[in-house]
Amino acid sequence: QPVLTQSPSTSGTPGRRVTISCSGGSSNIGRNVVNWYQHLPGTAPKLLIYKNNERPSGVPDRFSGSKSGTSASLAISGLQSEDEANYYCAAWDDSLNGVVFGGGTKVTVL
Amino acid sequence: QVQLVESGGGLVRPGGSLRLSCAASGFTFSDYYMTWIRQAPGKGLEWLSYIGDSGTTIFFADSVKARFTISRDNAKNSLYLQMNSLRAEDTAVYFCAKERYSGYADGIFDSWGQGTLVTVSS
């Protein structure tokens, strides 16, 4: 079972806003930064958001991240068809001395 | 640009061994912590192991700690994962990934390979 909890799926029509939540605990999200990855099956995962809300160069500002306490969220505004993918949150876990991932959220563009 | 290419995957019987490789280019390999992550069929991403830039610092997930070994050859710009006593549940696509910042591990993986498939089956 993944240490971080994400809802399995969400969907939206083009142009709308969707939010993905990620819930953890005091040893991971509560103490460390949260990072988000976008993954299309058969491809290399892509870093989407790091340090809670930073975007690597080339990532559109439609993607934004936030963190509060032991939870984090990823928002996608102006949803586009190419955003259809799986999204994973991740954080360092001080108790496990390693990285923990969420189970992933599949975003479907209707 | 940064490129990571995994190899060594394939079909192996339960109890068998396999060595995965990750060839790195486009950055100063010896400056960065590197990691292995896997994705079982229909499942999410699972972090497996970290190795420090010099190879002396190593972390492992409990799920594989007693069976897998991570190593690197900075002269060859290569990362390795030695997998022993393989089980059916080790069937997955295995990715290598690079830390965003040099010199330490903070779980920010800014470059990933395409992955190599390991199938454990009799």
pLDDT in tens, A14-25: 999 999 999 999
pLDDT above 90 (res B19):
yes
Read off the pLDDT of residues B26-55 as tens digits, 9 standing for 90 and up. Answer: 999 999 999 999 999 999 999 999 999 999
- Cα separation, B71 vs B52, whole angstroms: 9
Q: Which residue of chain A is at minimal alpha-carbon distance from B49?
A: A98
CB A97 within 8 A of CB A21: no
State which residue of chain A sits closest to B112, comparing Cα positions: A44
The proportion of chain A whose per-residue pLDDT surpasses 90, expressed as a percent, equals 95
Q: How far is CA B116 from CA A18, A44, A61, B71, in A?
A: 32, 11, 32, 17
pLDDT value for B102 = 86
pLDDT at A6 over 90: yes
Q: What is the mean pLDDT of residues A30-54?
A: 96
SS3 A81: helix
Which residues on adjacent β-strands are paired with residue B67? none
Interface of B with A (CB under 8 A): 4, 35, 43-47, 50, 59-62, 95, 97, 100, 105-115
Q: Dihedrals φ, ψ of B29, to 5°?
A: -55, -40
What does the alpha-carbon distance between residue B71 and residue B2 come to, in Å, rounded to a whole number? 20
Are A82 and A62 in contact, with CB atoms under 8 Å apart? no
Question: In the prediction, which pLDDT does A46 show?
Answer: 97
Best of B109, B110, B114 to mutate (most A CBs within 10 Å, chain A): B109
B26 three-state secondary structure: coil
Residue B106: band (very low, low, confident or very high) from pLDDT cuts 50, 70, 90: confident
Q: State the Cα–Cα distance between residues B37 and B55, nearest whole angstrom.
A: 18
What is chain A's mean pLDDT, rounded?
96
Q: Checking DSSP bridges between strand A46-49 and strand A5-6, what pairing results, if any?
A: unpaired
B50–A104 C-beta distance less than 8 A: no
pLDDT at position A95 is 94
Mean per-residue pLDDT, A56-68: 97
Beta-bridged to residue A88, according to DSSP, are A37
Q: What is the pLDDT of residues B52-78, one digit of tens each?
A: 999 999 999 999 999 999 999 999 999
Question: Residue B97, exposed/middle/buried by CB under 10 A (0-12, 13-18, 19+)?
Answer: buried
Q: pLDDT (tens digit, 9 = 90+) per residue, B71-99?
A: 999 999 999 999 999 999 999 999 999 99
Q: How confident is the model at residue A109 (pLDDT cuts 50, 70, 90)?
A: very high
pLDDT score recorded for residue B105:
82
User: Which residues, in sequence order, are CB contacts of A63 under 8 Å at separation 6+?
Assistant: A36, A48, A49, A55, A74, A75, A76
The mean per-residue pLDDT over the stretch A96-102 comes to 94
Question: Looking at residue A41, what is its pLDDT?
Answer: 87
Strand partners, A85: A107
Mean local confidence (pLDDT), B13-26: 98
CA distance A92 to A33: 7
CA Rg value for chain A: 13
Q: Which of A36, A26, A32, A51 is nearest to A6 (CA)?
A: A36
